[in-house]
């Protein structure tokens, strides 16, 4: 069964850091680009970041550029999102999804991990 399981969410103070992980199983991980999407409370979905199969090509939303870093470890079948200088507006449910490009689509999603930035 193809599965994505996010972890690493929690409560952090403004200015703090968190690293999210997304463990992939049931498919050949390095055949696919990967993406992070978030949903703030009461808001719609927002694309956060994506990267290609080997991490050599990455993209970020303007709202997180310079603060968040996406990466992957293909040997561990795991996607990461390092989040620094966190702000209250980063509070959201963070999903990882398989796929990156317009042609691939985002075809498999995890259930998400919650990040709360609050003092």
Partner 1 sequence: QSVLTQSPSTSGTPGQRVTISCSGSSSNIGSNYVYWYQHLPGTAPKLLIYRNNQRPSGVPDRFSGSKSGTSASLAISGLRSEDEAGYFCAAWDDSLSVWMFGGGTKLTVL
Residues 25-64 that bind partner 1 (CB under 8 A): 35, 37, 43-47, 50, 59, 61
Q: Under the criterion CB under 8 A, does residue 9 sit at the interface with partner 1?
A: no
Encoded tokens for 101: 């490009």
- 15 vs 77, beta carbon nearer partner 1: 77
Among 81, 86, 106, 115, binds partner 1 (CB under 8 A): 106
Kindly list the distances between the CA atom of residue 86 and the CA atoms of 30, 40, 80, 92, in Å, as whole numbers in the listed order: 29, 14, 16, 12
Is-contact 32 106, C-beta < 8 A?
A: no
Q: Under the criterion CB under 8 A, does residue 102 sit at the interface with partner 1?
A: yes
- Residue owning tokens 């390092």: 82
Nearest C-alpha neighbor of 54 from the set 21, 100, 3: 100
Among 33, 86, 94, 110, binds partner 1 (CB under 8 A): 110
Among 28, 54, 101, 118, binds partner 1 (CB under 8 A): 101
The Cβ of residue 25 has, within 10 Å, a number of other Cβ atoms equal to 11
List contacts with partner 1 (CB under 8 A): 4, 35, 37, 43-47, 50, 59, 61, 95, 101-103, 105-112
């Amino acid at each position: 069964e193809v599965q994505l399981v996010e972890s690493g969410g929690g409560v952090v103070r403004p200015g703090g850091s968190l690293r999210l992980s997304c463990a992939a199983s049931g498919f050949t991980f390095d055949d696919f680009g990967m993406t992070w999407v978030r949903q703030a409370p009461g808001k719609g979905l927002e694309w956060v970041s994506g990267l290609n199969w080997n991490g050599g090509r990455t993209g970020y939303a303007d709202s997180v550029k310079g603060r968040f870093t996406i990466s992957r470890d293909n040997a561990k079948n795991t996607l990461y999102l390092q989040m620094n200088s966190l702000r209250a507006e980063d509070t959201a449910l963070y999903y990882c999804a398989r796929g990156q490009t317009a042609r691939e689509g985002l075809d498999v999603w995890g259930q998400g991990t919650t990040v709360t930035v609050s003092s």
